[in-house]
Structure 1
Amino acid sequence: MKQDYTIPAQTRIGHVHLKVSSIERALAFYCDLLGFELTTTYGDQAAFISAGGYHHHIGLNTWFSKNAPPSKRDGVGLFHTAIVYPTRRDLAMIYDRLRKANYPLTGASDHGVSEALYLNDPDNNGVELYWDRPKERWTYHADGTIVMFTNPLDLTDLLTALD
């Protein structure tokens, strides 16, 4: 299929809306652990959370999933929600918080253009926490495509960003 339309460069993903089994458990993870702010609720069936006072970056609901089992790793659905932090220091701060809470990571990667931490929320939804290196530090192949890879992230070095 020939592409005759290119999405505008200013387009962004506005929010993600997740089905969860328990609003309380989800809020404990996203607000109490990761630090999102609760902006509003719809009774005990939905909650909306944000960073910095936006109306919502993440919606959480139990409309079709109250008390449901965690999502299956090998099933169809969302692979992960990616949450971008403004600086490497901010990523180091959330890593330190997760480490001190003994919250398990499922991975930690250096992708060349970014550094990322991977974990699962209480409903087994994948979550990526990352920061983008400045675009001027990215490297490119001869054909103009971006060089990306997956190498282990040096978590000890990440913590030096706290200094």
Structure 2
Amino acid sequence: MTENSTPIDPVTRIGHVHLKVADIERALTFYRDVLGFEVTQRYGSQAVFLSAGGYHHYIGLNTWKSRGGKPPPPGTTGLYHVAILYPTRAALADALRRVLGAGIPLEGASDHGVSEAIYLRDPDGNGVELYRDRAPDDWPRTADGGLAMTTKPLDLAALARS
């Protein structure tokens, strides 16, 4: 941060992600049927908004400029992944079981000290992180109180039993 800048308001959050997809129905099969998000609104066959818990939308999907498109090739810029935060370890375990039950391969699974995460791709090749945070009091810290995040293998069998 520069000398003249001020930090962002601490209650600021990322509100939603809007993804370009090649096929709305294929994307809905993943986000609605596998992950369990609810459709809150459709715009014909070109766009759909999904949420959880009655919020207007967390995820927007559209084919406005991407119908039938292909994922960007490796070595290009763009979205690395969208991260979906689950409220509990049991909810993350349920997500893991849904993903594996749908035959979707995992790209990774990590214990970051502050969180537990599984990584995969949606049908359009977008990176998706499904994770849960640990309580801040349980976060690993350095001697001076800073965060000491890690990337260790996550025990998927133990998670699935949660």
Task: State the TM-score, normalized to the length of structure 2.
Answer: 0.95
CA contact (8 A) 1:88 1:131 kept: yes
Moved more, 34-43 or 66-75: 66-75
Aligned counterparts of 1:29 and 1:142: Cα–Cα separation in 2 = 43
Aligned counterparts of 1:3 and 1:136: Cα–Cα separation in 2 = 32
Aligned counterparts of 1:121 and 1:135: Cα–Cα separation in 2 = 30
Which secondary structure state, in structure 2, belongs to the residue aligned with residue 106 of structure 1? Answer: strand
> Which residue number in structure 2 is paired with residue 105 of structure 1?
106
Aligned pair in 2 of structure 1 residues 3, 50: CA closer, same or farther (>3 Å)?
A: farther
Task: State the TM-score, normalized to the length of structure 1.
Answer: 0.95
1:51-98 Cα offsets, whole Å, 9 max, x none, are 111100001011110100123233210000000000001001111121
Cα-Cα RMSD: 1.1
CA contact (8 A) 1:110 1:116 kept: yes
Q: Does 1:69 align with 2:80?
A: no
Aligned pair in 2 of structure 1 residues 157, 104: CA closer, same or farther (>3 Å)?
A: same
> Which residue number in structure 1 is paired with residue 17 of structure 2?
16
Among the aligned pairs, what percent are the same residue?
58
Letter in 1 for 2:17: V
1:118-159 Cα offsets, whole Å, 9 max, x none, are 000000000000000111101211233211011110001112
Aligned counterparts of 1:90 and 1:73: Cα–Cα separation in 2 = 32
Gaps of 5+ in 1: none
> Which residue number in structure 2 is paired with residue 151 of structure 1?
152
Aligned counterparts of 1:94 and 1:72: Cα–Cα separation in 2 = 28
Moved more, 77-86 or 101-110: 101-110
> Which residue number in structure 2 is paired with residue 131 of structure 1?
132
Letter in 2 for 1:146: L
Aligned pair in 2 of structure 1 residues 141, 29: CA closer, same or farther (>3 Å)?
A: same
Gaps of 5+ in 2: none
